[in-house]
Structure 1
């Protein structure tokens, strides 16, 4: 199995899977608009704008599991991201990324790419997973790692 095998829902409720990104480099991020790390939306958007034509796809999965920092509906989240952060990269439907209710995609990501000291749990918003063009997880980045620090890893994969 790889990331392409998991069904996800768009923020408009349509089911699809990530196979539409086959052949692209993916940066998968769990997001929250009311988080102190929300300014990272700007950096993620910059990566999207700079590298989309070369094959990078930044995809966001809003999550409300960390101090209720993403309480809105999918349409409210999308509007907030567009208005406040200029986000044009895809945002999917809000999901859980940890615990028993974690989305299967995130269960896979955390199992295959544990964090610091082998922890499988997502510790906070803006944990990032870099995926190569074949759907393999290349690296997991902690929430505090800003998008610009990931750029050199992305360039190597493009």
Structure 2
């Protein structure tokens, strides 16, 4: 029944219903012994949530990324199911690499960006020196 499945997905995302990821991994590992070719828990959960229209695109894209990488070292960084879905939504975009010489004065583009978060946003003074203009959002 489709409506029941939607209610289950909704309940799985409620903050008060979150179970620590390592507990879910342990329980899943017990069932996976009988089915060794089943996908990882990350892929399974992302596949479940691709059935929900608001989450379908981000979950499908992130699951594809994880399958391409074929390693799931990020399992330790996941806190619970809601955190996995949040990660799929805010998944970092591809690093910006300037191809034009006019971007060379952008001081905040690092040679070695942080793998986890990408380039950091520089201080306002640095942005101002690079030619960025600031306006007050207040009347």
Fold conserved (TM > 0.5)?
Answer: no
Of structures 1 and 2, the one scoring higher in RCO (CA 8 A, sep 6+) is 1
TM-score by length of 1: 0.27
Structure 1 or 2, whichever has the larger Rg, is: 2
Larger helix share, 1 or 2: 2
TM-score, normalised by the number of residues in structure 2: 0.30
More strand by share: 1
